[in-house]
A and B are shown apart, each in its own frame.
Chain A
Amino acid sequence: MSQIHVTRLFHLFLVFSLLSVLALGGGNSVLPEMRHMTVNRLHWLTADQFRSIYSLGQVVPGPNMLMVLVIGYQLAGWLGMSVVGISFFLPDFLIALFMNRLWIHLGGWPWRVSIQRGLAPVAIGLMISGTYTIARLSIVDVATIMIALVVFAILLWRHVNPGILVLVGGAVYMLVSH
């Protein structure tokens, strides 16, 4: 294995374990930072590639952020995928396990409620930033605006399986730009 490959794997490990512990409010909260790191700072991907890989994550069962595996695969093959998978999910697994056991002991501690209530609006702000990042990458013309608005309206109106909605959105855009 070449030296470059080892360095690349190490960088993948650093970037994705950092993103893992920063993901307050869910995976979408780190999208701005992930885009900045992988596209602008390290030039691993173009903005178009980042958007396409993000889209792949939208159509699979389970968390959409599994798309990080594709980033690892694209950059360093199957080993890259494994490194990203472990560094993105293992720290959060350990934190969740630890906090679950700690939480009960903090029951009477008044700051527990403060932490919970104080972090909630920060998490919401980060989620909106994540949405904004994807919007900047994907809202490129009237058709994409319409797709986003129609999906938004449908989901406010009633509960539809979001996986089906994004597939329809993709198919519609493919047909109108054909």
Chain B
Amino acid sequence: MAYLREYLVLEQGWLDDEGFLGAMEISETIPGLIAVNMSVIVGDNLRGIPGAIVAVLGMLLPGSISVMALAILYQSNHSNPDVRHFLLGIAAAAVGLLSTVALQLGRRQFGKFPDAVVVAVTFFAVSILKISLPIVLVTLGPISVWLYRPKVSPERHPEEHLPFHRGPRHHLFRR
């Protein structure tokens, strides 16, 4: 993401920081790969639907070609122990990488009360209880959104106009 911001905002000047954060906000809230969502949104904002298509192809084509080249190599070498160990080492390194990504994206959530609980419950439901993902999403999603429901402005108390020490919350007033 840092690369994406550097390129789109600083080098090309296609977006300002606010536009970048706005696109990021949508990308993280809807399903799908964040980098792909970013390409769709930035492409669409700059050049409409053709822009979105070109941006997504640009994001996916080089990797698709490379990964298929590797797939063909892998098929003829998958029984080679060196290849197996090499790929296992890559997966282990990826665990370190994924942990940093989760930590960086989640740094706002871990220290806050309802957030940290929702993070923990989601992890527990998926990884320990092994509840299937659609069920987790349709239950925890709405519950978590409800925890952040818009605050309703409170009904005005008939004595609201009174000075604070005589008003409805006068018992809070230190005499």
By the criterion CB–CB under 8 Å, are B119 and A124 in contact?
A: yes
B residues engaging A (CB < 8 A)?
Answer: 2, 23, 25-37, 40-41, 44-45, 49, 52, 56, 59-60, 62-64, 66-68, 70-71, 74-75, 78, 81-82, 84-103, 105-106, 108-109, 114-116, 118-123, 126-127, 130, 132-134, 137, 140-141, 144-150
By the criterion CB–CB under 8 Å, are A122 and B118 in contact?
A: yes
Tally of A interface residues using CB under 8 Å: 106
A167 to chain B, nearest CB (A): 7
By the criterion CB–CB under 8 Å, are A26 and B33 in contact?
A: yes
Dominant SS at the A interface? helix
By the criterion CB–CB under 8 Å, are B36 and A147 in contact?
A: no
Q: 20 other contacts beyond A60-B67, A61-B66, with CB at 8 A cut-off? A: A28-B101, A32-B127, A36-B130, A51-B87, A54-B94, A55-B90, A63-B35, A63-B60, A70-B70, A93-B56, A100-B40, A100-B44, A119-B29, A121-B118, A134-B91, A139-B92, A156-B103, A170-B89, A171-B86, A171-B89
Dominant SS at the B interface? helix
Provide a sorted-by-A list of 26 A–B residue pairs whose CB atoms are within 8 angstroms.
A26-B33, A27-B33, A36-B132, A52-B78, A53-B74, A54-B91, A61-B62, A63-B33, A70-B71, A74-B71, A91-B32, A93-B36, A96-B52, A100-B40, A121-B115, A122-B122, A122-B137, A127-B101, A128-B106, A129-B127, A132-B127, A147-B89, A155-B97, A169-B94, A171-B86, A172-B89
